[in-house]
């Protein structure tokens, strides 16, 4: 008897979600791609969507894969959209020297990828000029480096550039690197460090003719999305923001995520940045590290007519929001009254909460009557508004999640009666010796 060939006549809308569920299991995806010819394109798209090139050896190996794929027509390159480069050398002062810099090898590889829209530089060695040039002011006056920058890689669809865990000589050098990607519109600063802070970013060098302006003198690098998280100091964050307002950059922020170990001066920079984006900002997320912060008392969003999504939360373990009403939460209700009628989504995560000995959750971190009044007013002004409230608790060894929906409903009766839509996500974690065990979320609608 001849062996029967397996034929599965299912439409893509049925098996494609199944493949999607396997996205995090690369071994399963590889096996899945060998099961049915019709599944090859779907699995390949997920296998090669995000790649990490760590070191020159992996980069060379992936370059060979791309060359082989091109010769046999399997089309691996077209599926790659997210690239992470790590442990490589970006020598901007000698970009064409293959002995001193990895840029030639990286360009040879990346130029074969036509659809990359996201690039992350993680733990890379960035060098913009000779170490002997230490006078920051002189560098600014002379338009350092000596020759103009050009696009670092051939990535025509690149939109997002993420710089993570990188030490730069100065904020000036950071901007020089970003200038080598004139097609970007989204920037992520994640855990940057500048040991040298003697450069004044208000004197941005004008000698960048290839990247600064087009022939019609229009600025070409417009930043529309900005994430600032874990930058080492206020000075660095302020200087980076100042540099993004000088040619060849301009800011027309539509999305801003700010998460810093903040001080009052740091918050002043945030308030100024948000105010300058009054006519463009659509999505704002603020993660505040200071429970005693009066940031919300200083922030007024009433004139942000395009704002649709807002997220406000406290982060860090240096305080307990389950003991006393913090300044942050005291100022939350009056702040909510100063939000625009355009708002459609409000995220209010409540984290780092400890259960009482009998397992009940704490509720004394908020002035609930004022909060209820503010939510009721928001709903009357914005009937389409949806409020998301994630609650996260430190759990006991049994991992039992507390009842939250009914106690919360009793604390915001007016808002619930008016029909405000509130979506709860209740989760937690169990601290154990040497590790943390997370308990899956439970979801509820009030």
CB 173 within 8 A of CB 210: no
Q: Is residue 20, in this structure, part of any structural domain at all? A: yes
Which pLDDT does position 26 carry in this prediction? 65
Residue 16 lies in a domain: yes
Name the pLDDT band for 25 (thresholds 50, 70, 90).
low
**For residue 215, pLDDT beyond 60:** no
Mean pLDDT across the stretch 256-280? 82
At residue 137, does pLDDT exceed 50? no
Domain total in the chain: 1
Q: What is the pLDDT of residue 105?
A: 95
Which pLDDT belongs to residue 335? 96
Q: Is residue 32 part of a domain?
A: yes
pLDDT in tens, 418-437: 999 999 999 998 888 778 88
Among 4-18, 62-76, 111-125, the range with the most confident prediction by mean pLDDT is 111-125
Tell me the mean pLDDT in the region 299-324.
79
Report yes or no on 407 lying in a domain.
no
pLDDT higher at 190 or 199: 190
Mean predicted confidence (pLDDT) in 364-382: 94
Least confident range from 34-48, 52-66, 157-171, 381-395: namely: 34-48
Query: 39 lies in a domain?
Result: yes
Cis peptide before 178 (omega within 30 of 0): no
406 pLDDT higher than 60: yes
14-24: per-residue pLDDT in tens?
A: 666 666 666 66
Residue 71 lies in a domain: no
Q: Give CA torsion, residues 244, 249, 255, 261, to 10 deg.
A: -10
Residue 90 has pLDDT above 70, yes or no: yes
Range of weakest confidence among 145-159, 188-202, 234-248, 368-382: 188-202
pLDDT digits 0-9 by tens, 109-121: 999 999 999 999 9
Bigger pLDDT: 131 vs 88: 88
Mean pLDDT lowest among 71-75, 293-297, 420-424: 71-75
**Mean pLDDT across the chain:** 81
Q: Does a structural domain hold residue 291? A: no
Percent of the chain with pLDDT over 90: 41
Compute the radius of gyration of the chain from its Cα atoms: 26
Q: pLDDT-based confidence at 149, cuts 50/70/90? A: low
- 107-138 burial, b at 16+ Cβ within 10 Å, e below that, comes to bbbbebbeebbbbbbbebebbbbeeeeeebee
Show the tokens assigned to 272.
């100024």
User: Cα–Cα distances in Å, from 307 out to 5, 170, 255, 282, 341?
Assistant: 56, 33, 9, 4, 9
Please state the pTM of the whole predicted model: 0.83
Q: Which domain holds residue 37?
A: 11-47
Cα separation, 43 vs 241, whole angstroms: 41
The confidence score (pLDDT) of residue 196 equals 58
Q: Which residue has the higher pLDDT, 201 or 127?
A: 127
pLDDT of residue 429: 87
409: pLDDT confidence band, cut at 50, 70 and 90?
very high
* 37: in domain: yes
Give which of 79, 55, 54, 82 is closest to 66, Cα–Cα. 79
- The answer to which of 70-84, 176-190, 239-253 has the lowest mean pLDDT is 239-253
């Amino acid at each position: 008897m001849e062996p029967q060939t397996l034929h599965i006549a299912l439409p893509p809308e049925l098996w494609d979600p199944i493949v999607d569920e396997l996205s995090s299991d690369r071994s399963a995806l590889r096996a899945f791609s060998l099961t049915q010819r019709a599944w090859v394109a779907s699995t390949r798209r997920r296998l090669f969507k995000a790649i990490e090139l760590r070191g020159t050896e992996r980069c060379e190996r992936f370059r060979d894969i791309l060359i082989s794929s091109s010769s046999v027509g399997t089309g691996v390159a077209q599926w790659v959209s997210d690239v992470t480069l790590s442990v490589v050398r970006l020598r901007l002062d000698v970009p064409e020297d293959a002995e001193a810099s990895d840029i030639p090898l990286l360009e040879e590889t990346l130029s074969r990828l036509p659809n990359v829209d996201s690039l992350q530089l993680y733990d890379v060695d960035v060098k913009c000029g000779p170490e002997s040039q230490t006078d920051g002011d002189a560098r600014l006056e002379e338009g350092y480096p000596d020759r103009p920058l050009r696009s670092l890689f051939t990535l025509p669809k690149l939109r997002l550039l993420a710089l993570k865990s990188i030490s730069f000589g100065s904020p000036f050098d950071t901007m020089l690197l970003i200038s080598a990607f004139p097609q970007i519109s989204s920037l992520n600063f994640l855990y940057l460090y500048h040991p040298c802070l003697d450069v004044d970013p208000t004197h941005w060098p004008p000698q960048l003719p290839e990247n600064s302006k087009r022939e019609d003198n229009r600025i070409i690098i417009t930043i529309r999305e900005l994430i600032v998280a874990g930058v080492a100091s206020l000075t660095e964050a302020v200087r980076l923001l100042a540099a993004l307002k000088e040619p060849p950059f301009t800011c027309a922020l539509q999305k801003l995520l700010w998460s810093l170990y903040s001080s009052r001066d740091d918050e002043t920079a945030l308030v100024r940045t948000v105010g300058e984006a009054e006519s463009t900002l659509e999505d704002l997320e603020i993660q505040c590290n200071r429970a005693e912060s009066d940031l919300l008392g200083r922030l007024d969003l009433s004139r942000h007519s395009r704002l649709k999504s807002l997220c406000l939360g406290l982060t860090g373990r240096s305080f307990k929001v389950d003991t006393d009403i913090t300044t942050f939460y005291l100022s939350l209700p009056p702040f909510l009254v100063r939000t625009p009628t355009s708002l459609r989504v409000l995220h209010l995560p409540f984290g780092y909460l400890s259960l009482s000995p009998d397992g009940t959750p704490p509720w004394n971190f908020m002035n609930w009557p004022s909060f209820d009044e503010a939510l009721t007013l928001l709903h009357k002004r914005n009937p389409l508004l949806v409020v998301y409230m994630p609650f996260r608790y430190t759990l006991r060894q049994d991992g039992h999640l507390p009842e939250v929906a009914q106690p919360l409903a009793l604390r915001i009766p007016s808002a619930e009666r008016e029909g405000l839509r509130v979506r709860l996500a209740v989760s937690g974690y169990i601290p154990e010796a040497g590790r943390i065990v997370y308990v899956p979320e439970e979801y509820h609608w009030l």
